[in-house]
Every structure is written in structure tokens, then in C-alpha cells.
Structure 1
Amino acid sequence: MPSTTAPGHDENPNGPSLGALFLIFLRLGCTSFGGPVAHLGYFRDEFVLRRRWLGERAYADLVALCQFLPGPASSQVGMAIGLSRGGYAGLALAWCGFTLPSAVALILFALGVARWGDSLPAGLLDGLKIAAVAVVAQAVWGMGRSLCPDPLRIALMIGAAALVSLWSTALAQVAVILLGGLVGLWRLRPEADAAHEALPVTVSRRAGLIWLALFAALLVGLPLLAEVMAGRTIELIAAFSRAGALVFGGGHVVLPLLQAEVVPTGWVENATFLAGYGAAQAVPGPLFTFSAFLGASLNGEPSGWLGGSIALLAIFAPSYLLIVGALPFWEGLRRSRRTRAALMGINAAVVGLLLAALYDPVWTSAVDGPAAFMLAVAAFFALVTWRLPPWLVVLGCALLGVLLQP
């Protein structure tokens, strides 16, 4: 069983009740705007500074683990904190509280587009697509500066973008991630690791191996099951769980993987895809809830609330299995320079994936003239230079998209 102790003190020495834990994360899910990096700041304020459930170093270690694993880092940090305070039930309630507000909002938006799309103000969806250009460009800029600081990793980023642009399939993206890890092992040399505190969550190694084996079984078995059992539901589960299992860097990096899964297959129209991605920037909580919008927007069944729920659970399932499975082994992995070198190469490659997605489908589908170009540039500088919150930029783009219609 996971430990329910942590360094520091809480107002309740026995830890919060499960109901209180859910309400804490529900409040964060309703107020945490700004994307994954901002979410980690909100979590630090809430759980390190205010409640003192973790020490600074333990929290930094937990963030490092979740950035090392594929999946949405901020959601995985929340899952681990929930696990530390309330066991597996605490993990589930922490995820529900943080995820449901944005998931419900995006499913409602998808239903509104499907039902009243023709009656929406002209230019509204175009404005959301232009907002997506600015948001993805900001992500490429920020991640590139952080994760590609030297010529080798810049070359790796450009090479990854070129390969994915020329070979635009989900398999190509997996291959690029693996190649990035191999290049990192071969050429990159990480610095020595700093001192740290033990993480406040303990799971037995035996339990960890079971969770990791289940993760591997789903990753390998679901595509095979989808081949044997023809049906949209199993294909949907396989596609979204694959995306959730292979996204290193979380957040915006899920865009190219999901686009490769749902647009070429005809499940979701490209214009709807980009409009939903723009809308996802205007809601709080994890960006992975974009999957709920896509599931609700599917052409054919399942769609609506059922499709959105299936897609949401499928994309987050690998994160659940990985965070619980990896915790018992993190102390050893984090001290391995080879592991960190591979991760450095993978991170540079995923920036290349995002760069390729910035061009196609984001730019090619949204920027179709001088007005759209200037609005995209203005939105980018509003995010990067003026540091306006993403939700405000998204709303501004939607309004200007309407006003700029001839």
C-alpha cells in the first residue's frame, strides 16, 4: 500500500479526508489556467508552501519523475500527491477533481459546435484556429530554448521535424522519439545530479512491476486487439491510449500525435480539430482534456458524452499506470546518467515533433491571408513578450476573428 505520510505538516495530522482531497483538486481544476508549467507552480504553492505536504526537494524530485515519464507531467504530479495522501482512491479523486472541469467544458463546446456550428458567428472558429498557431509557436519557442540549448540538440530538433514532415504517420513519430533517445545515449553528457529528498510516496517493487507490465500489455495488446476486433470503440481506445503513452513533454506535444490519429482517418475534420485545440487553451486544467473534445466530436459513434469519456479515460490510463509503476524504481533511475542522457535526446526530438505540427496542420489550416497572419503574429507576441494569459489571448483571437470577417 502507498504510504500516507509526507514531510511537513498539514492542518489535519492524519491527512485530509477523501472528500476534502477531491475538493482541493477540484478547486485547482477550476482555477489553474496557463498550461503545464503554470500548473506545477499552482501545485507548489498549494502543497509545498501552504499545506506543507512535501518539502521543496521532494517536490522537485516528483516533478523530475513526471517529466521523465511520457504523459501529462502536471496531472501525474497531482496523481502522485493524491496517492501519497489517500492511497489509490486518493489518486483517482485527485485526477477527477483536476481533470473534470475542463473535460466537461470541452465536451459541451464540442456538442455546441456539432449542433449549432452553422449558426456560430462567422470567423469565431477561424479566430480559435489562429489562437492555436500562437499557442503552439509559443510552446516551440519556450521548449526549444529550454530543451535544445546546444548545436547537437538543435540539429536533432530540426532533423526530427524534417523526418516527421516528410513521413507523416504515427509510426514515424514513435521512430523519431526512439532515435532521439539513441542519439542522446551516444552523444549527450548530462551533469552530475544534485542532492535530493526521498519522495513521499512508497509503492512496493512488486506492485510497481505489475503496473508496468499492465502498461506494456496495453501498449502492445490494444493495437493487436483493434486488428482482431473490428470496431470504432476499440480503435478509439487504442489510438488515444497510444497517444497518451508516447507523449514526452506532455501538454502541447500531444497535438501532433492526436492529429495523426484522428484527422487522416476522417474521425474528426481538421478545422474542428484546430478549433477545439484553440478552445482548450481557454479552459483551466490539463491540456490532455482536449481528448474529450475530440471524442465528443467524432464522425460516427461513439461520440458526444460517451465518446468524450472513452477518449479521456484512454489517454490518461497510461499516465496512471506509469506513475504508480515507476515510483519504486525512480531513486535508481534518477542517478543513472545514461537514463538522463537518453531523456535529453528524447526531449529535443519532441520539440521537433511540435515544430512540424506548427507548420502542418496548425499554420497551413489557419493562416490563409494577410489578416490571419498579422493576427497570429500579434497573438504570439501577446503571449511571449507581453505575457498575457493564454485564455485571454484565445478570447481576443475569437473576437477579432469575428470582427475581421468581410
Structure 2
Amino acid sequence: MQPASPAPPAEVSLTPPPRRSGQRTRRVRGIIFLKDVALLACTAFGGPQAHLAMFFRLLVEKRRYINAAELLELQALCALLPGPTSTQTITVIGFRLGGPNLAYLTLVVWATPAVVLMTLAALTLSYLDPARVAALVQFVQPVAVGFVAFSAYKISEKVIHTKTAVGLMVAAAMLAYFFQLPWMLPLLLLAGGAVTTVRYRKHAIEQEKKPLRIEWANFFLWFGTLAGAALLGHYTRLLPVRLFENFYRNGSLVFGGGQVLAPLLYAEFVEFKHYLTGPEFLSGLGLVQAMPGPNFSIAAYIGALAMRPTGGTHMQLLGALVGVTGIFLPGTFLIFFVIRFWDRLRQYRVVKASLEGINAVSAGLVCAATFLLYHPLPYRLLDLPFHLGPIDSLPLNPLLVGTTFLLLLWEKVPSVAIVAVALLAGAVLG
């Protein structure tokens, strides 16, 4: 009787489980996204409008993490909430790509360069020369306006398709230009959405509409932190706790970004509490305009200077950390609260119809920002070491804005190279 032949070996699949493969792909994509965020954090000069322009160029056109309409939609959604608009926008893009963990990492990577620079500025305040800093970034400012102008052109090309949208874009641009009020931005966005809502019947009905379910955890976290910090600061009287409450409260109430935040912080920390002098605050305000990344990083500067009476560099570092944490947390909690049900809310035809008007108004606001950012630039003539006749009388800043626009339109020169050349020119000629 012959022995039984051994059973054939089991087949071994060389293909990893789909779920593990998908997790690895998302992890790699998240790392690439964080590298892009780090690049933006070091090169995105010019405030929220210029940030949006660079988001559009890198995250939409080059990487295609989202499309132009989605970017405008998210930016408009963030503009309707209190907090730093550009920070909330890039954070929620991270949330869309990788969930809460990637979103928090995005926030940290995006804010860190500006926060570190503003903290160092506070620690070395007596050694800084604001005039030299202004000379360094003198060419970055018109370049940033060029970025915003290019963004206005590209965004309008992507989202303006009807006469109604054209009318809303023009009206929003004019109103934002002539009435520079904190409440104007959310009011225009809501009005634009209301205008196109009446056309909701033109949108198809969702066949499998998911039920709207609101998760309240982040809202309660936002409100609980606000109330808890106020009570803790009142009873302990500890300066770091009171600073956290001050920044958290201001971050919960400000609409419109860093431009609106500045007068609130000036009234709180200079006029009322006298933690800083007027010249110190204005020096910090000028410096933060020269920094890449979020303008809300001025909280690190104010927090560090506010902790001077307690003595020691370590206490000033604590003040910077408290200020940054307090100013960025409210907007983060609120956008995490809204974004979790936004995709389900936008299933409804009324909401879909309103997005056309919101996107058109957003395009108009970017157009208005181009002119609003250009006006404060000083009038300077082209100053060459040699004479070229009539060319010598050309105004410099419009030339830089136009050159930046054309370089971006050419699509051969990366944004970081344009900013680097502007900084190098400022360092050499300043």
C-alpha cells in the first residue's frame, strides 16, 4: 500500500489586503500633503487672499486634492465662521483627505513657521529694526498682489458660467471694495446664496439622500472650553490662564481674519490691560504682515510680551504657546463641527443652488482684494543704475504685479521661486 501523497501547499497571495493597501496609500498621500502645507507655510505671504491664490495654484491645479469649486465652497464656509479663514480652509482640506489626525497635523505644520518667527521677534524685540524688515519684504508685497490677481482670474474662469453669477461677482466686488466692514463678508456670502436659491428646481433630486445627522461634540467642546477658561481665569487669577481666555474669546468672536483681529487685540492688550505699548503692538503688526502663513500668529508675539512681568524666557515661551493655542482652537473646533454634516447638508437642492451664488460672491471678493491690497503699496518709480529714457519713469509696483501675473499665467515658474527672488531682491537692494 503506497503512502498518501502530501497535500499541495496552500497558495500564498502576493497581493496585500485591499484595506491595508488603501491605508498605506492614504498615509503616503497624507505625507505628500503635509510637505505641500510646509512649503505653503514658508512661502505664502500676503494674508488670506494671497493664501487662497497659492492654495489654488498648488493644491488645486498642481496636486488636484480638490477642485476649484470645492476650494471656493470650503473657503466661503470658513468665512461664515469665526476664526482664521485661510487656516480653517487648509485644515479642513486636510480633514477631507485624512480625517481629524491629518487635519490637526495640517494646522500644526501650517502655523509653526510664522509662530516661531513671531515668538523670536518678541524675544528679541529690542534688536529688531522694523525699517530693515520692511526693506526685506518691499518686493514681496506687490508679488503677493500679483498672486491674488491671478487667483481672481483663474477662479472666475472656473466658477462663473451664468449672467446671474457675473452680476453677483461684480456687485460683491464693488460692495466689498467700498464698504470695508467686518460683517460685510458673511453678509455678502449669505446674500449671494439667497439669490441663487430660488433656482433650486433646476437641480436634480438625490435618489439616495442620506439623513442629516449633526454631531454636537465639537460644538460643546468649543463652548465648554470658552466657559471653563472664563471661570478658571476668574477664580485662579493666573496670568497664563487669563491670557488663554482672552485669546480664546477673541478667536471665537472675530469674523474676517487677521485684519479684523488686529483692532480687537489692540483694544484688549494695549488700551485696556497695558500688556504692550502702542509702538510694540504696531511693530508686531508690521512684522506679521511680512511673515508667511497665518496673520493670527501675532498671538505668539503678544502672548510672549504679555508674560514679561513673570520673568524668564521660559515664561515668555509659555505665553507664546498659550496665545497661539487660544487663538487657533475656537475656529478649529467650529469648522470640525460644521464639516462633519456639511456633505450631507449640501445634498439638498436648496443648498446646491445656493452654492452657485456663494461661489460667485467669493470670486468677487477675491477681485476686490486685489485692489484693496494694492492701494497701501507706496508709489515708487523704477530705479535702475543706468538710464533707459522714458522707462526710468515707469511705476515699479504695477510692473511687479503685472510681471507676477504673467509668470503665473505662463505656468513654467513655481510660486516659491517668484517669492524667493522677491526676498533676494529686497535683501540686496534694501
The answer to whether the 8 A contact 1:241-1:317 is kept is no
The answer to whether the 8 A contact 1:294-1:311 is kept is no
Structure 1 partner of 2:406: 381
Amino acid in structure 1 at the alignment position of 2:182: A
The answer to whether the 8 A contact 1:68-1:343 is kept is no
Counterpart selection for 1:105 from 113, 135, 149? 113
Structure 2 partner of 1:295: 299
Structure 2 partner of 1:366: 377
The CA deviation at 1:349 is 1.3
Three-state SS of the structure 2 residue aligned to 1:78 is: helix
Q: Deviations over 1:357-406 (max 9, x none)?
A: 3222x11222422122212221222222344222221122222234454x
* Partners of 2:17 and 2:286 in 1: CA distance: 44
Structure 2 partner of 1:393: 418
The CA deviation at 1:78 is 2.4
* Counterpart check, 1:174 vs 2:186: yes
* Partners of 2:115 and 2:19 in 1: CA distance: 36
Structure 2 partner of 1:250: none
The answer to whether the 8 A contact 1:132-1:274 is kept is no
Q: Deviations over 1:285-309 (max 9, x none)?
A: xxxx514433234496487443233
The CA deviation at 1:186 is 3.1
| Aligned positions of 1:34-53 closer than 5 A | 34-36=54-56, 38-39=58-59
User: In terms of mean alpha carbon deviation, does 345-354 or 64-73 score higher?
Assistant: 64-73
Three-state SS of the structure 2 residue aligned to 1:175 is: helix
Amino acid in structure 2 at the alignment position of 1:391: V
Counterpart selection for 1:210 from 191, 196, 216? 216
Identity %: 17
Structure 2 partner of 1:124: 136
Three-state SS of the structure 2 residue aligned to 1:126 is: coil
With over 3 angstroms needed to count, the CA separation of the structure-2 counterparts of 1:170 and 1:232, relative to structure 1, is: farther
Three-state SS of the structure 2 residue aligned to 1:123 is: helix
Structure 2 partner of 1:260: 260
With over 3 angstroms needed to count, the CA separation of the structure-2 counterparts of 1:378 and 1:350, relative to structure 1, is: same
The CA deviation at 1:153 is 1.7
With over 3 angstroms needed to count, the CA separation of the structure-2 counterparts of 1:95 and 1:158, relative to structure 1, is: same
With over 3 angstroms needed to count, the CA separation of the structure-2 counterparts of 1:189 and 1:212, relative to structure 1, is: farther
Structure 1 partner of 2:174: 162
Counterpart selection for 1:82 from 98, 107, 111? 98
| Aligned positions of 1:4-403 closer than 5 A | 12=20, 15=23, 26-27=34-35, 29-30=37-38, 34-36=54-56, 38-39=58-59, 69-70=77-78, 72-83=88-99, 91-92=100-101, 94-113=102-121, 115=124, 117-118=128-129, 120=132, 123-186=135-198, 192=204, 208-211=214-217, 214=220, 234=245, 236-241=247-252, 257-262=257-262, 266=266, 276=288, 279-280=291-292, 289-298=293-302, 301=306, 304-324=320-340, 326=341, 330-331=343-344, 333-360=345-372, 362-369=373-380, 370-403=395-428
* Partners of 1:73 and 1:42 in 2: CA distance: 18
The CA deviation at 1:75 is 3.0
* Partners of 2:174 and 2:282 in 1: CA distance: 21
The CA deviation at 1:194 is 9.8
Amino acid in structure 2 at the alignment position of 1:294: I
With over 3 angstroms needed to count, the CA separation of the structure-2 counterparts of 1:122 and 1:278, relative to structure 1, is: closer
Larger of the two Rg values belongs to structure: 2
* Partners of 1:368 and 1:259 in 2: CA distance: 22
The CA deviation at 1:178 is 1.3
Structure 1 vs Structure 2 CA RMSD: 4.7
Amino acid in structure 2 at the alignment position of 1:389: P
* Partners of 1:105 and 1:257 in 2: CA distance: 18
With over 3 angstroms needed to count, the CA separation of the structure-2 counterparts of 1:371 and 1:63, relative to structure 1, is: closer
Unaligned runs of 5+ in 1: 1-7, 46-55, 84-90, 247-255, 281-288
The answer to whether the 8 A contact 2:190-2:358 is kept is yes
* Partners of 1:77 and 1:259 in 2: CA distance: 23
With over 3 angstroms needed to count, the CA separation of the structure-2 counterparts of 1:166 and 1:314, relative to structure 1, is: same
The CA deviation at 1:157 is 1.7
* Partners of 1:274 and 1:97 in 2: CA distance: 28
TM-score w.r.t. length of structure 1: 0.65
With over 3 angstroms needed to count, the CA separation of the structure-2 counterparts of 1:264 and 1:141, relative to structure 1, is: farther
Aligned length: 344
The CA deviation at 1:9 is 6.2
The answer to whether the 8 A contact 2:193-2:356 is kept is yes
